[in-house]
């Protein structure tokens, strides 16, 4: 694989360039995720034919995304879209803008979306998309051109009945608005249901922004109830203070839990008496990062994972809990707000320590659940108030948690394996009913 040509702004900031490190990684996120799939499939006794079908993505699309930069130069970015499985309904999954994203990572995320939608029993399949770029050095107009050109390249894939994108890393409501507009211009009429995570004024759902963090709070509350641990005073450490982590921290604090540590990519702050979450949010609003926040003691970022706490919420990036640090984790409960924060090699260590892990495909499924609500509202042309959205979200996540817990207890497996077993069986059941098209 050849490196791309490095382009540099007059300021010296790189727009896009060689990223050899990502190809030298010893961790393949797709195979890491599939290690869990294989274990669950074996326990289910999944027949070999269905195993082969469910282990392969349906479509892997690579597109070129050429745009003219603000300085007049032309740059060509690479875009990915993977549709993993659509047996239960249209593909659903976010789009991320990230310089380090790879096709294997997108495949893994699309598979996670498949199992995530199935575990909460909503009628979607799984997808994921990405553009390899560094949004921090691109202007707003350059990002808009990338988004619109990427959308145009995938115009035959996207659609309310086929593939419905959503925000992900470094994308947001504005990016979804550009996708919706581009798609609508091609179809010659407004198609609000082609994306979710849109501005409310364009058919977005109330409660969507908070949904993933709210879901983390709901399933954590269920886990504490199951373990007979009191809500009040439970000590929580949150890694990642973006949308998911900050909302989860805020809502957990409202439930009476004590947020003893928070972090972002600039700093980690610990306060054994409890971090004032509202003050931390106000600081970030003014300063952009947690760095310098006076509400606690600053510690090295990785130390947050091994703090003495009751609940750990890794809500930042993949592969932060590994065989190297898992033995030092002191939390009794881990709520995986991020996708894939725990490597397969760390699972058995956490099991041996008796840590109750709420797996990502359940813990952070609040976002896709409310995305489903948004899609339903767009298609029906009738919109719900926020209490209705939150009540229906709570009902689905509580039911899903109990479904996974029941399977975990019945088969004497951990929550992750049970979640995979439940989701794989739901997808496999539809394949059996539909049969094989030939």
Residues in the chain: 438
- Residue 206 DSSP class: T
Residue 196: per-residue pLDDT: 97
Q: CB of 367 within 8 A of CB of 359?
A: no
Whole-model pTM: value is 0.90
Query: How do the domains of the chain map onto residue ranges?
Result: 58-202, 211-363
Q: Which fold has domain 211-363?
A: Rossmann fold (3.40.50)
Banded model confidence at residue 6, pLDDT cuts 50, 70, 90? very low
CATH number belonging to the domain at 58-202, selected among 3.40.50.970, 3.40.1550.20, 3.40.50.10860, 3.30.70.20: 3.40.50.10860
58-202 and 211-363 agree in CATH topology: yes
Q: What is the mean pLDDT of residues 319-323?
A: 92
pLDDT(141) > 60: yes
Residue 228: per-residue pLDDT: 97
Residue 58: per-residue pLDDT: 97
Average pLDDT taken over every residue of the chain:
92
Q: What are the tens digits of pLDDT across the range 95-129?
A: 999 999 999 999 999 999 999 999 999 999 999 99
Catalytic residues: 128
Q: What are the tens digits of pLDDT across the range 29-48?
A: 788 788 899 999 999 999 99
Q: Which tokens sit at 315?
A: 């809500």
Q: Which tokens sit at 308?
A: 């003495």
Number of Cα atoms under 13 Å in the Cβ half of residue 370: 30
Q: CB of 205 within 8 A of CB of 367?
A: no
Q: What are the tens digits of pLDDT across the range 378-425?
A: 999 999 999 999 999 999 999 999 999 999 999 999 999 999 999 999
Q: What is the Cα–Cα distance from 129 to 108, expressed in whole angstroms?
A: 11
Q: What are the tens digits of pLDDT across the range 217-250?
A: 999 999 999 999 999 999 999 999 988 999 999 9
Residue 27: per-residue pLDDT: 61
Banded model confidence at residue 18, pLDDT cuts 50, 70, 90? very low
Please tell me the least confidently modeled range out of 7-21, 48-62, 191-205, 262-276.
7-21
């Amino acid at each position: 694989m050849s490196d791309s040509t490095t382009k540099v702004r007059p300021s010296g900031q790189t727009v896009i360039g060689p990223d050899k490190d990502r190809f030298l990684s010893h961790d393949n996120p797709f195979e890491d995720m599939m290690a869990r799939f294989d274990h669950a499939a074996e326990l289910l006794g999944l027949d070999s034919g269905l195993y082969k079908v469910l282990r392969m993505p349906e479509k892997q699309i690579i597109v070129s995304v050429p745009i003219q930069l603000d300085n007049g130069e032309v740059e060509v970015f690479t875009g990915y879209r993977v549709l993993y499985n659509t047996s239960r309904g249209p593909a659903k999954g976010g789009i991320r803008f990230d310089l380090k994203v790879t096709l294997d990572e997108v495949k893994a995320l699309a598979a996670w979306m498949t199992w995530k939608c199935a575990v909460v029993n909503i009628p979607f399949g799984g997808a994921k998309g990405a553009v390899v770029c560094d949004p921090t050095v691109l202007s707003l107009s350059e990002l808009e051109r990338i988004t619109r050109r990427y959308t145009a390249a995938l115009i035959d894939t996207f659609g309310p009945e086929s593939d419905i994108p959503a925000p992900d890393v470094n994308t947001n409501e504005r990016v979804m608005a550009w996708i919706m507009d581009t798609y609508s211009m091609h179809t010659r009429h407004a198609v609000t249901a082609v994306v979710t995570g849109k501005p409310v004024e364009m058919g977005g759902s109330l409660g969507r922004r908070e949904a993933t963090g709210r879901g983390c709070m709901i399933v954590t509350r269920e886990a504490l109830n199951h373990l007979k641990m009191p809500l009040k005073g439970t000590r929580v450490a949150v890694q990642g203070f973006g949308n998911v982590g900050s909302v989860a921290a805020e809502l957990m604090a409202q439930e009476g839990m004590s947020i003893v540590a928070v972090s972002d990519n600039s700093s980690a702050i610990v306060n054994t008496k409890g971090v004032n979450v509202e003050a931390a949010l106000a600081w970030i609003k003014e300063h952009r990062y947690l760095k310098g926040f006076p509400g606690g003691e600053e510690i090295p970022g990785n130390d947050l994972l091994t703090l003495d706490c009751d609940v750990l919420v890794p809500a930042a990036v993949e592969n932060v809990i590994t065989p190297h640090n898992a033995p030092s984790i002191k939390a009794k409960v881990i709520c995986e707000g991020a996708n894939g924060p725990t490597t397969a090699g760390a699972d058995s260590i956490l099991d041996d320590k008796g840590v109750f892990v709420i797996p990502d495909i359940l813990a952070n499924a609040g976002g896709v659940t409310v995305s489903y609500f948004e899609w339903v509202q767009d298609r029906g042309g009738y919109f719900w108030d926020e209490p209705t959205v939150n009540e229906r979200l709570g009902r689905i996540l509580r039911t899903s948690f109990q479904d996974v817990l029941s399977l975990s207890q019945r088969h004497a497996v951990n929550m992750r394996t049970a979640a995979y077993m439940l989701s794989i069986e739901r997808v496999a059941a539809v394949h059996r009913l539909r049969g094989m098209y030939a």
